Amino acid sequence: MSNILIVEDEHISAQYLKKVLTQNDFNVCSIEDNAKDALRAIKKFKPELVLIDVMLYGNQSGCELALDIRRFDNEIIIIFLSAHSDANILEYALNVNAYCYLLKPYRDSEIVTTIKMAFQQYRSEIHVNSILLRRGYSFDTKERKLYRDKTDTLLHGKLLDFVELLAKNRGSCIEYNKISLEIYANKSNINTIRSLVHRIKQKLPDLEIRSISKKGYVLYQFLKFFHNYITILLFEIHLI
């Protein structure tokens, strides 16, 4: 039975979600109304999927919670919930590698179908060697090669080592100290790492390696369902 965490500060909405999920053979391990307790629940129950309302009780939003989750877990499936369509939130959802964004009010069938599709995609990806990234890139973990539209980018040495580290931890911020340990055996500083990233961006300018201020770097996975979903959503609210 799939384990799901609900992070929702509206009691009625949270109980409605729990009812729909349990009626469809999903296990709701916990319901939390704030980011701090949600993080504790994730570490305690280790859910496969978390439903996060964008607006939460307390100092942190659902978007900030998702970013915190990605700092230590890039496998958990994140689905955002919100009553509003907002371009900034949609972009944020893409940046934290969320699977989907559900707009309230949603139907029972919409919730169940979305979650089933999320689990199906996640479990199918476990058995393949290729990690799909954005803009046509993919990393083959067996061959240790980065491809762009099925063509080898010919990365090698520390450039390849760095991209491999980011790809295997896609969606999570890899901090400077981990990069230094994994790539340089702790014989580097921030400037060395920045120089490495600069060399990669010169060679592959559209590879989306993003800097997280004062922390490290992240490489985002491509989620076809969410990409198409967001494009349709932006069109509907006249943002593209």
| Spatial CB neighbours of 91, under 8 Å, sequence gap ≥ 6 | none
Residue ranges, comma separated, of all CATH 1.10.10.10 domains in the chain are 134-219
| Spatial CB neighbours of 77, under 8 Å, sequence gap ≥ 6 | 48, 49, 50, 99, 118, 119, 122
pLDDT reported for residue 95: 67
Q: Is 97 left (phi over 0), alpha (psi -120 to 50) or beta?
A: left
Mean pLDDT, contiguous 10-residue spans, the chain (240 residues): 90 95 95 95 94 90 88 85 74 72 86 88 66 85 90 94 91 88 90 95 92 85 50 42
The rounded distance, in Å, linking the Cα atoms of 63 and 116 is: 23
- The helix/strand/coil state of 119 is helix
| Spatial CB neighbours of 157, under 8 Å, sequence gap ≥ 6 | none
Residue with tokens 């300018």: 205
pLDDT reported for residue 126: 54
Residue 50's beta-bridge partner residues? 5, 78
The rounded distance, in Å, linking the Cα atoms of 5 and 27 is: 9
Residue ranges, comma separated, of all CATH 3.40.50.2300 domains in the chain are 3-127+224-236
Fold observed for domain 3-127+224-236:
Rossmann fold (3.40.50)
pLDDT reported for residue 237: 43
What architecture is the 134-219 domain classified under in CATH? Orthogonal Bundle (1.10)
